[in-house]
Structure 1
Amino acid sequence: MASSQKEPDAEAIEDDERQYGQGPASDDDADELALLRPQNHSKTLPFHELFTSLFNPLNDNKKRPTGPKVARAKQGPHGPSNQSPHEMRRSIVSRFISKWRRDVGNDIYPAFRLILPEKDRDRAMYGLKEKAIGKLLVKLLKINPNSEDGFNLLNWKLPGQTTASRMAGDFAGRCFEVLSKRAMRSTVGEMRIAEVNELLDRLSVVSKEEDQLPIFEKFYNRMNAEELMWLIRIILRQMKIGASEKTLFDLWHPDAESLFNVTSSLRRVCWELQDPSVHLDEEKTGITLMECFQPQLAQFQMHSFQMMIQKMGCTEEKPNFWIEEKLDGERMQMHMARDATSKGGFRFSFWSRKGKDYTYLYGNGFEDERSALTRHIKDAFEDRVKNIILDGEMITWDPELDVMVGFGTLKTAALSEQRDPFNGTGHRPLFRVFDCLYMNDQVLTQYMLEDRRKVLEKSIKNVHRRIEIHQYQEANSASQVEVALRKVVAEASEGLVLKNPRSIYRLNSRNDDWMKVKPEYMTEFGESLDCVVIGGYYGSGHKGGRLSSFLCGLRVGQNDIQKGANPMKCISFFKVGGGFRAQDYRNIDEKTSGKWTKWDRAHPPTEFITLGGGDKQYERPDVWIKPNDSVVLEVKAASVGASDQFGFQYTLRFPRFKSLRDDKTWDSALSVEEFIQLKLRLEAESKDKEFKVDARRKGTKRLKKEVVIAGNNTKVKTPYAGPKTAVFAGLNFCVLSDMLVPQKKSKAEIEQIIKSNGGAIFQSPTAQEDMICIADKRVVKVASLVKSGQTNIIKPCWVLDAMKQAEIDGPQRQRLLVPWEPKHTYHMLDVMREEVESNVDEYGDSYARDVSVEDLKKIMDEMMHPKNYAFDSNEFLTELEEHGKGLGEVPGSMFRRCVVRFVSNEEEPGPNVDLLIAKSQFQFAGGRIVEDDEDLDVTHYVVVGENLDVASSLRKEISRRKGRVPRIVALKWLLDSWDEKTVLDEERYTV
């Protein structure tokens, strides 16, 4: 008998039930989920199966070279394998899921909790970081903290004490090095996944070292070094296994990602979607009260204002759109329900964009004594409101100045409000609400934004500077966007968000219905700043084992010195880690060698250094140095912003090393008073500068150019609008939903196109036997038809493709309809699958119609490798840097804010190899090359060759420009920056 059919093992199930590790849940949730939970027929797999069958194969797959020749030559376990890394990744995950279903059952939740620990909201945070785990292991292994292994565990970013460790900067790797010498087992242990979950649940609810140590001891006694290494990665939630949750969800169930988007519950995904052949009911794909969902996001600005307005779907008939100020805070969703069992009669929950629960901070009710918000908003809701879900931004407000404060101060303000709730002068959290998604048991996401706004305004009353409805300006032209942007620039605000008032709310989507616009922020903050180094941070990865970034400070002013402060004392100001060459690191090391002191958190050097956060010691360095033993760095930055993460009230945004100031001593570096004077002067000067819009996004063009296919001078036409033909004569259609792609059209517009070209329209899908059903999204009628399993459902894009091909073929062939292809089908019956798939080749190229440029690009992209168009790595890194959480420089995106025009007056007899290499490296690293002399986005002119005439004429030309002035540099700047894997200071390469 097949293993999937064997009788349940009662003893095994009872044992797994006892060791399951469910985590906390409300009584209502527990009752509901208990009914959904599938029954496994056997014990969970051994823990080591996770890395032998899944983690290690996925990591090995990441290292595989790509390319067709390599793929053909690769030998798989059953002979030659021509699978791409993407296909191999899916194959590895699929095999693991199949193994689980076969050997365990349909409840994969115990495994997913360990595979995706960062998505598991049922288990509390452990409160353990690398340092704390290192201390536990030192005690567990009974090793001297000052021994080499003890030192390596407690100082994992530092190089080895006596020998260089290969794992510097990789804590789990360091643990493996130490544990492999002292492991209780040389082979893998017998602990099962359920047992690991049970112990991890216990670990998550204890906070004292004496309670944590026995749990680690149990793991240590039953696991080998590799198992313990992966366990530590799970505890730290730093897996990096080479497969995203999207891949895992998709291979578990086709609706898994959709359900996770509206619930953020890993348990519900695993239990409600145990059978991949049973699709999720439509009503369960909506948001639920008191369950976190993944919010809609704004698209990045990539076009001119006019193009952005067009992309939002504005037309001559409906030209209006909304303009909102972009807030510099944290995206937050508020859930509220009247609850007689709760103190005060109301219950609240708050979640961030990433699903982090902030209810503990902002309050669970009006009477919550630790609330930073809810205790102040008792008058915010109209009497008729029973329950509601609000989407908005939590920002920091300064009540004395009556202005918004920067993002970096939000948590500090909330904690301060908890401690002293009625202090009228301190910073406080303010919830600005811009959307209402649920009201009195009704989901509103499918209603238009303008209708949701009416509900919001009738449900919420502003409570001054506590909870307020975010205001918008209605507009109908691009010129109004520029006026609004000038206003936010003058007020030093974050930017704008443009919204289509006729749009629905799309969960976990970044689309053109909302588009954000930021002012140009890459203009340098005046001249460079000379600041003294006061601390250092060890790097990770390829920079592991050496200082890779530095903490810089401002000298205290004369007023503080007169009050008794140490004249050598500095206030932390910013961290800088970009722009350094290997030689720069060597020079700093030579000048400071032997002068660094390990930072002692219990005894910080307050005589010399002031950090942010007081006793919390924000941004504390690994090592520190006295200012008179240190060096002065010349640093440039994009701008200055408020921050509570450093000792000074401001910090630099995007700081970059420029040079080492050998000519300056610590006491000539910038002081607090000098910086404030400089800031005031530059702000006054900036008012006279010409306004400029942020146009740095990848793909930005000044003018739209006609596309020409190589080898064919035929210009590509604009998207097909559709002439009147008889192409659909004699056919019956039932249109069930709007069209979403490749362009947005309403149900009525699709019906009109079909009628204009000979088709008959019916409102019931069963009105005729030969009905063609058209749909692009899962409305109720569509879900019902899919469930019935009796009808094919075709996407509206087939209608446009059929008409376009009829126009190309001419009147004599207009009745030869384009056959259905996989891209045209929303739901396909099994009997039609083979026929539909036979209408395209293996790459998706149609046999019956001419492909468009867009089709061709998609086909070629998928032939090479799959792409995730929803994720822009450059934008992701930029946003991290904006909030002070950058990952350091990544070679693949270090030029992402650079726009270059290459100039030369040399007549080269052959190709310039250095130039070709530099261009390739520059574009690979996210840079953009332009050819237009009038392109005002240019940040650098790169001069090719030795002749200085070109540079001289360029200098005269750009001296007449207003706003940002491009840098003129030699080609060697690009080549050296690539070699050093960081953007070097341009002044060394000025032509």
Structure 2
Amino acid sequence: MATNNVASSVKFNDLCKVFETICKAKKRDKDSVLVDFIKTYKTQAEHLKATSPNCSTSFYPVLRLILPQVERERGPYGLKEFTLAKRLIKILCLPPEGTEATRLTNSRTSGAQNKDFADAAYWVLRKYFLVDSKLSISDVNEYLDRIAENHGNNDPRGADDQLYKLFQETSAEEQKWLIRIILKDLHLGMGQDRILRLYHPDAADLFSSNNDLCKICETLTDPSVRLHEIEIAIFVPFRPMLSQRCDVVQFNKVFSGNVKMYVETKFDGERFQLHMENGQFKYFSKNGYDYTSTYGSDFTNGIFTPLLKNSFKKDVWKIILDGEMMGWNKSTKKFGSKAMNFDVKHTKTSHVHQPCLCVFDILLLNDDVLTNRPLKDRLLLLDTVLNPVQGTIMISHRKEITSKSAVLDALNASMDREEEGIVFKDVMSLYKPNNRYAGWWKMKLEYFENVMSDLDVIVMGGYYGEGRHRNQIAGFLVAVKDSSTDNEHYISFARIASGLSNEELQTIENNLGPHWKKLNEGDPEEHGLEWGKEKPDLWIPPNKSCVLQVRASELMRSSDFKTEWTLRFPRIQKIRLDKHYNDCLTLTELLELINSAKYVKKLTKRHLELDDLKLTEKERKHSRRDVHIEQQPVEQKSSLLDEYEFCVLTGSEAWKKDDIEIEIRENGGTVVRNEGTNTLCILVGDDHPRIETCKQYDAPYDLVKVEWLRSILDAQEFKMYTPKDMLHISKKTKEQFSINYDKYGNTYTEEDTLSSIQDIIPQVEKMNDFVYLTPSEVVVLEQELKFSNPINVFKNVVAYFYRFGRNFKLDVADVQSPTLEEMEFRFLGGTISNIINYRVTLIINESDDVKRREILEYLTEIGNTQAKIVNKEFINKTLQEIKTAL
């Protein structure tokens, strides 16, 4: 094992203790735990450096264990939860169908309240590995390197051998953290950027540009020395600086004082970076994909680089430019947009559009990295290094402004030119890769109210979402009404999947959920629905649907929808449950709105004015759309539920949802359709898919059985719900419950009764959260509790049960079914042996005389003087005595 580095002198067990402390610490205290460890590590490194000047003091060996999910030097281990469980079963020689093996292989579905697989494994491993190891952090890294190397060499036996050796040298608690490192998720409750910034204030920024933990530790060694220039390297892609969306609130914040800004056109193309050194080129997209083969690596190949001859000044031999790759119409001498159905990344020389790079920043010039210079200085340099060529490489036009009105003038002028919007930038801003909050803002008219033509469309279909919305309808196919036919007819217009909060999605689900139909259920055409190439996952009859108010930047031609037009960047603004389903946009109105033969039609209806920017932040926050519930007046019978707000998800056969809501209001409570910050809980009667969704994604609200409400209404005494009343518990309520209840729902503050214990047993069984104690652990527990189990009368007794034909001298497994007496003996705490040996203290004979002499002779022969011989009635008699005593 390596010794010439500080990681060899720090125990892995010390790091595991830090992990444990971080997990148990409150959110605000986690940082200090890790910071203290980093300081201790660096202090140890300084001492080692003083005695061994050539030793390595890098924090990288530790950081790659703290952030295994982003570590790239070590290859994959080929171990996921299930395969790791199988390896552990093999290492421990566990019976494959045994309880412990099942706990490992079914850790997710067993119902146990484990944090993760590693936590489940720990409760098995702790019986077999007890002593802390002496392995260092360097040792652990070498083991993990060999496991990954063997996996990469397709040597699973070698990988298993290294894993076995690693586990032989570590304790159960260390193995828990090793498993999390191998599975690349430590569950520390701290994000990646947060951990990096605790190591060095600039670490997260540097990582965003190079994704290299080792380089971070080599470059950033002293937190007091800041990284003044993000390292930009030629022919290495980086994630570009981004613009922050600027709406009313943000606009007023930015222009609250004296500022100087550059205003530029917001280009509607593809973000690209150009790298050039000595006539060799590379092109990278926003996400780091290499398009050099398309655009050309030098002046002799590609669709773009040959056009750049003589575009650079003679003294420029190395350069990195940031800009937007646009499509330049060679006939009209104008830029196109992405809405015109062409892809600037795949144009050909025969196309009407050719690539044109609109440059708006320079990051490297010859050997100078420029990212730490103010924008105004960078742009002065940019003006001196290029020979712009119209339609090929152009410098973005910029104008310096200092007032709100100047920004509005620029935005309105952009609208008149039918452009996407504007970008304005702080003239002193530094270039920070992958940062959206460093002094650049983007502004479009659709970010503001009453300056765009919002459209009312009807929902005709739905799409299942992804991620946390995968079991929920989260996208919609919307339609316009075709009034040219006598019957109601709706044709597809656009697909929309943004703009609604979780609460608003639930509002739509509450209203449309019962009426969704699969594509093979019924005939949409019979209901007047017609779509084009784009088809939904589910459809809905118009008279069961609702109207959505949507906003988009523009209309564009599309062959995917029946209207042959669709919306670009659509966003749902409101759910219009107040509108009749057929009171939506008509095809005639849509065509009048377009009134043009162009491919793209902007949806702006007027210029933005200063008065549009007077909304306060408070008004902005208050502008979310809530759907009003029409409620009939009720006679209030009590004030039991005064000041409590409820959301009723479902009722039951015995208690309908409407009746529940009426009784809540009769007793002084408030009913809302969508839960909010003031909602006490969501009440659930019958099963609902949302219950599983809430559990899966740890929703921030409580789901409570309606039986709880029934009980307090019947008693007319308000008592807060308890764990046994819950279908899902929010994080906040869990914290409150943890003060008064254990994880099985058993209270700390009240005496246990037989009834309360019986109530929690099903919960223990459901969690499969049994702890199997060894005999020695049972003895210790009984001593601590000063308790002796009156049933375990044979606790320390080893018995041999003689049957006809049995050879008491040979240790042969008994294949016969156990007798009643044997089962009773085990029930009373005894241990049964298959042979008479020195450990046997009781021999149960079938009768007093059978084999008695032969057994006594054998006992004398083996020196066993403690064993007593009794008949089988002795067991039954003992059991009856215990029953009588209890």
Q: TM-score, normalised by structure 1?
A: 0.45
* Structure whose CA Rg is larger: 2
Q: TM-score, normalised by structure 2?
A: 0.49
